[in-house]
Structure 1
Amino acid sequence: MRIHEKMEPTKEGKPLTASDWENVTPHENKLELWDGVAFDPSGEQRDTFCLALIYNMGLDHFIEILPDYSRKSLKELLGNGDD
């Protein structure tokens, strides 16, 4: 199981453990850019790190800090929620 599979973001944020943080941050906490992709060429570290941050802040706060256009786009992407 990959670390982000156990970090399912919910409405309310949840604390991260020191172990979680160590597992989701890049090696030596070094932020790198690979041809426009953060952390590593595959984007896997970027995605895992992003999920950890959203897990920590909660979906409510994540949506609150999105710019209006991004919120509208997200709403369109999610559709009416029948999935």
Structure 2
Amino acid sequence: MNAPAPAAVIKQHLIDPEICIRCNTCESICPVQAITHDSRNYVVDADKCNWCNDCISPCPTGSIDNYRTMPRIKAYSLAE
């Protein structure tokens, strides 16, 4: 039996790099370790995120969107 194909459309929290102060609050509070970062950006892995929204209200700058719906092929990652 074949595994189901991944959904063509996903929901992903977006963290605005222009507003984010890189305080690491979101990454440290995420219960499923869905948020990672490099020297420039923080990114929410849509495949790991469980939509608990624990990261949104503690953000001191409000830089995390509730979520955006987008094609899976255009999901944001640290590689971008």
TM-score, with length taken from structure 2: 0.26
Query: When you count strand as a share of all residues, which structure comes out higher?
Result: 2
Question: Higher relative CO (CA 8 A, sep ≥ 6), structure 1 or 2?
Answer: 2
